[in-house]
Structure 1
Amino acid sequence: MSDELSYRRLPSLTSLRFILACPVIWYHVSYVSGIFDGSLHKSLAIVSPFAAGAVSAFFILSGFVVTWVYRPGDRPASFWRRRWWKIVPNHLLAWTATLVLFAVAAKQMPMPSPPGDGTAAAVTNLFLVQDWVPDYHLYSGFNTPAWSISCEVFFYALFPALILVARKIPAQRLRPVWAVLAGVIVLIPLVSAAIPGPELYDWLPINERSLWFVYIFPPVRLLEFALGIVTARLIQTSTWPRIRRRYLGISLFVLFAALPSLPPQYAMGSAAAPALAVMIARTALADIEGRSRRLPRPALILLGESSYALYITHAPLMMAARYLVGPDPDLAPWVGFAWVLGVIAVAIPLSVVVYRYFELPLMRRWSRSRRTPTPPQPAPAPTPASST
C-alpha cells in the first residue's frame, strides 16, 4: 500500500459525513431550539455527548481527507484557495440568512438563551474568529454551527506546515506519534476540569471558560485534526494495525457507560477521538479493499456531499421555524416532535439544493487555477499491509 492510494476516492467516508451530521442536527433542532420545556426538554440533552462526539469525528475526518488527497508539490496557495471556495460561500449564505432573520425578528427570537444577536457576535461570526474569545455569547451566538468552521479555518491555515512535518515522520514512528496524540486528547478534559467558574448548563456542571477550552478553543481541537492526519499517513504507509470491529464497539460502549463517573468535560466528545479515528480508518480501508457495501450508495454519497450545506444552513432555518410558532408555544409532545421532524425534513433537501446549485458551481468555477497543473511524481511501489 502506498501514497498512490491517496488518489483513490473513498465514497464511504463521504457517506459517513451525513451520518455524523444527523446527531448534531437532531440535538440542535430538538434541544437547542427550545421547542420543548420542562423535564422533556432536559431529557433531550442526553443526545449532547453523541453530537459532541460527531463534531470530534468531523475534525478527525477533515484531517484525514485533506491528507489523503494531498499530493507532493501541491502549493499552499492552491490548497487555501480550494478550502476557501469550499467553506466560505456557504458560510456567507448562512450568515446573511441569519442577519435577515434577526433584522426581521429583532429581539423577539424565542430561544432558550440569548443567541448572540449583537454586533460583536455578528462580526466575529462573519470573520470566523469567534472561537478565540472565551465568551459563550460570541462562540455560540449568531449562526451557532459556524464555531466549528472557525476551528477549521485555523486547521487549514496550518495544514501546509503540518503535512510537511507528518510526511517526514518515519513510518515506524507513526504509531507512537498517533498514541501520544490520542493520549493527550483524552487527558485534555482533566485540564479543562481544573478551570473554575459557575455552571453554564443545568444538566451539565461545566463553566463557560472550561467549556470553551475543552470544546471550542482551536489549538486544543487541532489535536483531533492532527490525529486525522497521522491516521491517514498510517494507512498510506501500510502501518495501520488491524483492529477488530468488536474492540471498537466495546471501547465506545465503555466510554459512554463511564461518562456519569467522569468529569463532565468528558461529555464534550474529544475523549472518544481515538475510537472515532479507528472507525474512520476502518471505513477507509473497507473502500480500499473493496469490502464496503452499505455506505457507498449514490443517495448517501449525495447526502454526504451536501452535509456541509446542511450543517451550516440548518440553524437559521430552525430559528425561523421556531420564531413562527411563537415564544411560548405550549405544544403537545407529539406536535413538538412533528415540528422537529418537519424542520429536518426541510433542511435536508434544502442542503442538497444549496450544494448542487450554489456550492458546487462556485467550487468548479473558482477553486482551481486555470493553469495546467504539474503532474505528480510517480508513487513508490505498493508494499504489503501490516496487521496485528
Structure 2
Amino acid sequence: MRIEQLTFTRYVAALTVVFFHYGMTVFPANVPWVNPVLAAGPIAVSYFYVLSGFIMAIAYYRPEQPQQAFATRRYWWARIARIYPVYLLALLLMIAAKYQTVGSEPLTVALSVSMLQAWIPGYPITLNTPGWSLSVEAFFYLCFPLLILLVKRYPLSNLTLAAGILWLVTQLGHGILLNTEAYAPRGLLHDFIFYNPLMHLNTFMIGFIAGAWLRTGRLNRFSAPLINISGLLLVSVLIIGLLISRKTLIDASGIAFDYTNGLIAPLFLLFIVLLALNTGKISQCLQHKWLVLLGEASFSLYILQKPLHGIYEKLMPIAINPHGALHFYVFVVLLTISALCSYWFFEAPARRWLNNFVNRTP
C-alpha cells in the first residue's frame, strides 16, 4: 500500500532544514513572520518521525493476518538498506573533510559509524550534523518489532492511550527540564533534551498508532471531501499559526518551550492522516511523478547537505556573494540535483542490491 501524496512533503520538510542551516538570512527567510515557517528545520524533524511511524505501520501491520509471522531478518536488512548506504557515504565525506582532526577522536567516529551518537551528550551533532536524527531513527527501528508484537496482542484503543500518555509525559519532562536552572544552551542537558532518542519516541509512536488505525479502515470516514479538505485547511493554519507565534507565546507566558520534541506532533499527525485519505485534486497533484521523485530523493538531500555544502563553499567562484541569496539558491538547486543523482545512481541501487542479496533463493 503506497500513499504517494505524502512523499513530496518529505522534500518540503527537508528544505526547511536546509533553510535553517544555511538560508536564515536570505529572502524570504529573513522576513520575521516567514522565518519560523520556512526555516522550521528542527521542528520538521518531528514531522519526519511522525511520518516514519505512520508509513512503517502501513507497510508492516496486517490486521487481516494477525497470525502472520514477522519476517525479522528481512525487516532488519530492509531497514539497513533504507538508510545506511547514504548515511555512511555522507559520514565518510565528513571524515575525509576533517581528516586532520578526526584521527584524534576515535570515539566520535565510532559513535557516528554505529549510529549511537544521539545517545551520548556531547556527541549528537559531531561530524555530520544531520546524522543525529538518523541515530534516533535507528532506535525507532529497534523498537518497531516490539510495537508490531504489541499491536497484535493488545487492543489498539489501549495502545492509543499508552501513546497519548507517552506524548504527554515527554512534553511535561521536556518543559520541566528546559526551564530548570541547570539548563544551558549547547550543554549536556541540552543534548539530552533535544537529541536523545527517548525524547523523540513519542512522535514515532503516535505516527505508528495512527497508521495501524488507518490499516483497520476505521479512519475512512475522514476521506469525505468536505471533512477532509476543511480539516487539512484548519490543521495547516493551526501549524503555521503556532510556528509564527511561538516566540510571542514564550514572551507572554514566561515559560520556555519548543516544538522539536513533538509538542505539535498531534497536528502533524492529523495533517498526515487527512492527506493520506485525500482522494481529490490535492492528492492527484502531489502524486505527480516529479514531485514523488523529489520526495524519494529527500533523504539524500537531507543527509548529504553538510558535506556538499562544504564542497560548494570551496568550489563556488568568489564572484558570488557568499552571504547573498543567489549563493544560497544556487546551492539549493545543486543540492537537489545531487540528491536526485544520489537517489538514482547510489541510494536506490544499493537498496535493491542489499534487499536482493538477503532475499535471494538459497
- Coarse TM-score class (shorter-chain normalised): 0.7 to 0.9
Match among 11, 14, 21 for residue 21 of structure 1: 14
SS in 1 for 2:284: coil
**TM-score normalised by length of structure 1:** 0.77
Match among 224, 232, 237 for residue 216 of structure 2: 237
**Counterparts of residues 220-259 of structure 1 (less than 5 Å):** 220-240=199-219, 242=222, 244-259=231-246
Amino acid at match of 2:333: A
Aligned-residue offset at 1:330: 12
Amino acid at match of 2:359: R
SS in 1 for 2:137: helix
User: 1:156 — aligned with what?
Assistant: 141
Larger mean Cα displacement after TM superposition, 228-237 or 116-125 = 116-125
- Cα 1:250/1:354, change in 2 over 3 Å: closer
Aligned-residue offset at 1:64: 1.0
User: 1:355 — aligned with what?
Assistant: 343
Match among 89, 95, 98 for residue 91 of structure 2: 95
Cα distance between partner residues in 1 of 2:16 and 2:145: 31
Aligned length: 339
User: 1:283 — aligned with what?
Assistant: 275
1:134 aligns with 2:127: no
**Counterparts of residues 107-146 of structure 1 (less than 5 Å):** 118-135=105-122, 138-146=123-131
Cα distance between partner residues in 2 of 1:49 and 1:264: 19
SS in 1 for 2:2: coil
Amino acid at match of 1:96: L
1:11 aligns with 2:4: yes
Aligned-residue offset at 1:211: 2.8
Aligned-residue offset at 1:361: 1.2
1:56 aligns with 2:49: no
Gaps of 5+ in 2: 63-67
Gaps of 5+ in 1: 1-7, 108-114, 201-206, 374-388
Deviations 1:142-192 (A, max 9, x none): 111110010111110111011221233424446544543443344343133
User: 2:308 — aligned with what?
Assistant: 317
Contact 2:37 2:243 in 1 (8 A): no
Aligned-residue offset at 1:352: 0.9
Cα distance between partner residues in 1 of 2:38 and 2:285: 27
Let me know the Cα RMSD of the aligned residues: 3.3
Aligned-residue offset at 1:295: 0.9
Contact 2:87 2:131 in 1 (8 A): yes
Cα distance between partner residues in 2 of 1:238 and 1:174: 17
Aligned-residue offset at 1:370: 3.1
Match among 51, 67, 79 for residue 83 of structure 1: 79
Amino acid at match of 1:318: H
SS in 1 for 2:283: coil
Cα distance between partner residues in 1 of 2:137 and 2:104: 23
Aligned-residue offset at 1:15: 1.7
Aligned-residue offset at 1:52: 1.7
1:370 aligns with 2:359: yes
- Cα 1:322/1:269, change in 2 over 3 Å: farther
